[in-house]
Structure formats: C-alpha cells, structure tokens
Amino acid sequence: MVQASDFAFSGLHIPGNTSNAVGSRVTPVAVTQIPGLNTLGISMVRIDYAPWGINSLHTHPRATEILTVIEGSLEVGFVTSNPENRHITKIIKKGDVFVFPVGLIHYQRNIGYGNAVAIAALSSQNPGVITIANTIFGSKPDINTDLLAKAFQVDKSVVWQLQTKF
C-alpha cells in the first residue's frame, strides 16, 4: 500500500556537515530516500561547501546533472571524453545553472571565503556516483601498484602513498 510518506522527504533545509577532508557534504534525495521515485527518472541533491571546499572529481554513470547555485560562487567543470579530453569550466554564482552531461567526470569548488550551497537535479532515480580518487586508490582489494604507477606515469611510492589516504 502506497502512502504519502513514499513520496516525501524532509531535511533539505538543513546544512550538511562539511567538516571533512574535502570540505563538502552531499545530501541525496533519490529512490533510497523517496521510494515513490522508483521508475520516475529523477532525483536531486543538496551540496554544502565549506570555504574552498570541493565536490571531488566524480561521475554519474546513469544521469545528467543540472546544478543551481543557491548561495556563494562555484568553479565548476567537466572533462569531455577521449581523445579530446577538453576541460570545460566556468565560474557560476547565485542563481546560475550549469549542466554536467551523463557519464562525464566533473567537479565543483567553492571559490569564496564563505559557505556555498547548490541544488542539483539528476535524470535518474538512481544516478550512481563514482568518486574518481576513492575508486582508483581506495578499492578493496587494491588495484595492482605496478599497474597504477604505469597508468599515471609515477613512481610506485606515489601510488602507495595515495592508497594509504583512501
């Protein structure tokens, strides 16, 4: 039996705790939070940023994202696919909107001395998120150090150091 609570969420007015290594917090509103979103093809998030905080390089394998700045100013960007790998970037301010195409690696960074807030809509009830650094250097079990050192063209000691951080 479907109920009103299957279609509602409370809490987007509450700032997220940004006291972490990257200085941001994402509050999702997807099918896990609102079961009624199942099969509807939409979800959203609130993103809070501390001064100079980032929403680290990540991708959504199943969704395009459209982001609106509610407070502050953000540097936003994404990288196009191979072989061009073009970095598309822009500074956006309160009321501005930016789109991140499905599957492309993207980020946001608060470029202000105060907190920033953004709301984003995603074109899937289950967009998924792959945080690039966590995925590569924090996988369990670890990705082979020799492979990563060769892929990133760095010494294995650099890979080991990164793997200990994630």
DSSP state of 16: P
**Residue 152 is encoded by which pair of tokens?**
């990133």
The answer on whether 87 is annotated among ligand-binding residues is: no
d(CA 97, CA 75): 12
From the number of C-beta atoms within 10 Å of its C-beta (0-12, 13-18, 19+), residue 109 rates as buried
Q: Which helix (H) or strand (E) holds 148?
A: helix 145-152
Residue of 96, 95, 110, 104 lying closest to 65 (CA atoms)? 104
The answer on whether 58 is annotated among ligand-binding residues is: yes
The answer on whether 65 is annotated among ligand-binding residues is: yes
CB 24 within 8 A of CB 109: no
d(CA 33, CA 8): 8
The answer on whether 13 is annotated among ligand-binding residues is: no
Residues tagged in the binding site annotation:
55, 58, 60, 65, 106
Residues tagged in the binding site annotation for oxalate:
55, 60, 65
Residues tagged in the binding site annotation for Mn(2+):
58, 60, 65, 106
